[in-house]
A and B are shown apart, each in its own frame.
Chain A
Amino acid sequence: DAKTTQPNSMESNEEEPVHLPCNHSTISGTDYIHWYRQLPSQGPEYVIHGLTSNVNNRMASLAIAEDRKSSTLILHRATLRDAAVYYCILSNTNAGKSTFGDGTTLTVKP
């Protein structure tokens, strides 16, 4: 199964943009890139996903490298409520399972 690599932790100031990187050098052509976040004592929450093109939604943007070996989750204006663990995972319709890594712990400073 293709794996993802993320930094253990990142810090941001409130109301500034945050770029969370993810490497997935062994991604296959049918793997979708998903991002989830987990607030303390809660289950993971979907953020965004994409296949090849960049994606935007009300929560964030997803920038996917042209070779698809890396991606970046962009929070345009971080708030204190965005402090969470962010997981980048690969999900494949044919594989039937997706695996989470240890994620990036985002700290947002006021």
Chain B
Amino acid sequence: NAGVTQTPKFQVLKTGQSMTLQCAQDMNHEYMSWYRQDPGMGLRLIHYSVGAGITDQGEVPNGYNVSRSTTEDFPLRLLSAAPSQTSVYFCASSYREGDTKQYFGPGTRLTVT
């Protein structure tokens, strides 16, 4: 298994640009989530999904969209990038939420200038 993969590893955007961060898992996990981590801080939940076709907002959803058309993929779209979105983004998956462990991807380091 490749586990949780994220692309790209690094990205630089200009203010106002849009882009999509890709996340995929090959473990047939129902639960997937996106977090952001600012320097020296913990992880904050952006959006999550409990299965294909179902998504919901986390703590900091503004400026981001998600969709879950398949079990494997959970892309995160930045609508109009702002410097405040400079962060490291982690995608995670688990069989379900609650009593199973989450597997995290390696992260995408995003800089918005």
Contacts and interface: CB of A to CB of B under 8 A. Distances in A.
A62 to B, nearest CB: 13
Nearest to A51: B99
Contacts of A51: 99
Contacts of A43: 90, 92, 104-107
Interface residues of A, number: 26
B42 A102 contact: yes
B101 interface: yes
A93 B35 CA distance: 18
Contacts of B42: 85, 87, 100-103
Contacts of B106: 42-43
B64 to A, nearest CB: 15
A92 interface: yes
B2 to A, nearest CB: 14
A99 B45 contact: yes
Given A43-B104, A99-B59, A32 B45 contact: no
A44 interface: yes
A30 B99 CA distance: 9
B107 to A, nearest CB: 5
Interface residues of B, number: 26
Interface string A38-54: 00001111100101000
B68 interface: no
Contacts of A93: 96-99
Contacts of A97: 33, 45, 48, 56, 58, 97
A45 B104 contact: yes
Given A43-B106, A87-B42, A100-B42, A32 B33 contact: no
The 5 closest A-B CB pairs, nearest first, are: A93-B98, A43-B104, A46-B101, A100-B43, A102-B42
5 contacts: A36-B102, A44-B92, A95-B98, A97-B97, A99-B45
